[in-house]
Amino acid sequence: MALLNFKRKDAPVEKAVSPEIESLLQDYSIEVMPRTAEKVEDFRALLPERTRVYIAHIEGTPIEDMVATASRLARDGFRVMPHFPARIIKDNAVLADWIARYQGEAGVDQALLLAGGVAEPHGAFESSMQLMETGLFDKAGFKRLHVAGHPEGNRDIDPDGSMKNVEDALRWKQGFSERTDAKMALATQFAFDAKPVIAWANALAEAGITLPIHIGVAGPAKLQTLIKFAIACGVGPSLKILQKRAMDVSKLLLPYEPTEFVAELAAHKAAHPDFNITNVHFFPLGGIKTNANWAIANGGRSAIPAAQS
């Protein structure tokens, strides 16, 4: 097992680590919300130094709480990436205010831009592309912009179940990345079946969409919890993986771990080094500590130089 570049309390028992999984988990990221972050006494005891931490902005969360969470994580040395959900941002003035607050109080220079899970926009914006078109992130000197990816489609965007609108949006975002200096990547919804994810990623590359993919992975959790979140988040056909597991009485009460899913992606990456899934992004549905311990036990670390952040 590779030496980790941080100290932690209550470290999990060491076990043999797959080199392929360890490689894929290098520079993984994880997502928190202000209310879940409040329950964590010390993130430095759980996460490798300089881990990228996304802060999910759920409708109704005050911007003050978001910025306070960002400031805390930044002080602890993490790379902070708050969500900017277009449909809950009223107008350019609100967007500029949020950017200024994050920069002034937490030194934030990267963001995840997404439409947001709101049916009716609160104002002028309804897509991440409109946020990018304002030029406000470029003007503020943001160095990195991530955008959403949907390996199994998104019925909010394509109600007919196709991938047409999603793919059109990705082509636009690819073009944006080519005409700006921002480092960009796709941060995806979580899934449970690796084979269609691999096929989706390969199809993007064949279509000329070369943005690196940070694949969403559901962290360890009770099976019932995962099914609830998967349905709420619109996870597609791979939900059947969980439903099939739920029908097996011997597995029903056992916690789900993403080992098999990650291992299959890691093996494909090892066999195809140019594969465009480059990072893992964790959704800690069973708790941040549980997810962090699983990542560390499997060799997860964030040890890239600051210049590559």
Domain 19-303 sits in CATH at 3.20.20.220
Does position 268 have pLDDT exceeding 90, yes or no?
yes
Output the pTM of the full model: 0.87
256 burial (CB, 10 Å; 0-12 / 13-18 / 19+) is buried
Q: What DSSP line would sit under 156-197, residue for residue?
A: TT-TTS-SHHHHHHHHHHHHHHHHS--EEEEEEEE-S-HHHH
Write down the residue that tokens 């064949």 correspond to.
Answer: 206
pLDDT digits (tens, 9 = 90+) for 109-125: 999 999 987 888 899 99
**Most confident by average pLDDT, 221-225, 268-272, 295-299:** 268-272
Does position 214 have pLDDT exceeding 70, yes or no?
yes
CA distance 60 to 20: 40
Burial 149-166, CB ≥16 within 10 A → b, else e? bbbbbbeebbeeeebebb
Select the more confidently predicted residue: 248 or 196: 196
Contacts of 297 (CB under 8 A, 6+ apart): 12, 13, 14, 15, 17
Asked if residue 55 lies in contact with residue 34, where contact means CB atoms within 8 angstroms, the answer is: yes
pLDDT band for position 68 (50/70/90)? very high
**So what's the pLDDT on residue 224?**
77
Structure-block tokens of residue 15: 């076990």
What is the pLDDT averaged over residues 234-253?
59
Structure-block tokens of residue 170: 């990705």
What values do phi and psi take at 205, rounded to 5? -60, -40
**So what's the pLDDT on residue 241?**
67
Mean residue pLDDT of the chain comes to 86
Q: At what angle do helices 259-271 and 194-206 cross, to 10 degrees?
A: 40
CA distance 113 to 117: 12
What is the pLDDT averaged over residues 118-137?
94
pLDDT band for position 302 (50/70/90)? low
CA distance 34 to 16: 34
**So what's the pLDDT on residue 2?**
41
**So what's the pLDDT on residue 166?**
78
**So what's the pLDDT on residue 152?**
77
**So what's the pLDDT on residue 228?**
75
Provide the residue ranges of all domains of the chain, joining segments of one domain with +: 19-303
Q: Cβ–Cβ contacts within 10 Å for residue 296, how many? A: 22
CA distance 240 to 81: 31
Low-confidence winner among 69-83, 164-178, 235-249 (lowest mean pLDDT): 235-249
Structure-block tokens of residue 161: 């179940």
